[in-house]
Homo-oligomer: A and B are copies of this chain.
């Protein structure tokens, strides 16, 4: 049993390694330009071996996407505290989004860049029907988290009571995804992280204001800035 377990863990570790390499390649070249051979080479394996770990290209890509989404969800959940207000939650969510984006080797990009490869990917139309339980698909789970926050916000009176939680959730997700996709489409060198972040912030603030209840103080609907790391200071300067 112990052995079996270890084998299992080793297998997972190897899978993770492969995915990690694939990710890097995708970030460098874009999804379309990455093929199984490239991925194998990056992992210092043969193509044939990939098929021992993944049933095929689509499965590999889907798993890559899922694993990143899961990682993000875990990060968010780790910081979630009961008793937070909707706004506090949303701010926390936002901060995690930013830090995940910045600090996680751009896993974010991957997660989103790959939408095309995933049958059950986020769909603007037709929300996932399942309840947001942990065992449902990772994207459905994310959807549920956001929707939950919005509903809470409506209940707390901060969001307009006429707000449709599903539509708002999807609006937010759309923006998440689309922004990231656009960034991912840029050559790696041109991705001006801080400028992007500033822009994202504004976009989300627009949306928050858009769903806010009438009369709510706009200063409440502001998202916090991510405190800057040293090496990015000059670039930061440029963007003021």
Q: List 30 A-B contacts (CB under 8 A).
A: A116-B185, A122-B182, A123-B182, A123-B185, A123-B186, A124-B182, A124-B183, A125-B179, A125-B183, A125-B191, A125-B195, A125-B196, A126-B186, A164-B202, A167-B202, A171-B175, A171-B206, A174-B174, A174-B175, A174-B178, A174-B179, A174-B182, A174-B203, A175-B175, A206-B207, A206-B210, A207-B207, A207-B210, A209-B209, A214-B218
**Binary CB contact string for chain A from 152 to 182 against chain B (1 if under 8 A, 0 otherwise):** 0000000000001001101100110111001
Residue of B nearest to A121 (CB): B185
- Which one of B164, B178, B207 contacts A177 once the chains associate, using CB atoms below 8 Å? B178
Contacts of A111 in B (CB 8 A): none
The residue in A170, A171, A178, A186 that gathers the most chain B C-beta atoms within 10 A of its C-beta is A178
Contacts of A121 in B (CB 8 A): 185
- What's the minimum C-beta distance from A132 to chain B, rounded to whole angstroms? 20
Given A174-B178, A174-B179, A175-B175, is A168 in contact with B125 using a C-beta cutoff of 8 Å?
A: no
Residue A234 at the B interface, CB < 8 A?
no
**Binary CB contact string for chain A from 91 to 113 against chain B (1 if under 8 A, 0 otherwise):** 00000000000000000000000
- Bound form: Cα–Cα A170–B200 in Å: 11
Q: Are B199 and A170 in contact (CB under 8 A)?
A: yes
Residue A211 at the B interface, CB < 8 A?
yes
- Bound form: Cα–Cα A179–B168 in Å: 13
Contacts of A182 in B (CB 8 A): 122-125, 174
Residue A192 at the B interface, CB < 8 A?
yes
